[in-house]
Amino acid sequence: MEVGLRDATPADSDFCFALHEAALGPYVTAVWGWDEAVQRDFHARGFDPPHTKIITMNGVDAGRLDVERRPDELYVGLIELLPAYQGKGAGGRLLRDLIAEAAARGQAICLEVLVVNTRAYDLYARLGFRETGRDDLKVWMRIEVYR
């Protein structure tokens, strides 16, 4: 399956909200309950096309990747795939690409994951991310990949 990235535009907002509900809705519901108004407000405040890439699989919009390139690290703010595209290797491939970028830049990568999202946690751990902190809701993870 061909995995690609394209720049997000404001026109991708509805897709990204529907994606969030499909990909993370069950986890959000388990932690806080799904409140449509709260989630729409969260999305309106957080959707930032300059930091967002739309993940494509075989040319079809399949997910979202938000990365903030900070002076000393890459911060993966969000990686989501529609359920039909999960488990096909795209998330791992994209993260390995980011690990290579971070190594070339002499930086680390950090991210956070909901405690209840064990599938994502396991992927991050397999790729070498280690916990740097946790609370009842989230785990913070980091990988040091300096050259």
pLDDT digits over 50-100, tens only?
A: 999 999 999 999 999 999 999 999 999 999 999 999 999 999 999 999 999
| Range in 3-12, 27-36, 48-57, 94-103 with the lowest mean pLDDT | 27-36
Full-model pTM: 0.91
How far out from the chain centre does Cα 46 lie? Answer: 13
Smallest CA-to-CA distance from 85 within 98, 75, 94 is with 94
The pLDDT value recorded for residue 29 is 87
Q: How many domains are there within the chain?
A: 1
Between 22 and 146, where is the model more confident? 22
Residue 145 confidence (pLDDT) above 90: no
The pLDDT value recorded for residue 147 is 59
pLDDT digits over 98-138, tens only?
A: 999 999 999 999 999 999 999 999 999 999 999 999 999 99
| Domain ranges, residue 135 | 3-144
Residue whose pair of structure tokens reads 């999960």 in the numeric block: 86
Smallest CA-to-CA distance from 26 within 39, 13, 45, 44 is with 39
CATH of the domain at 65: 3.40.630.30
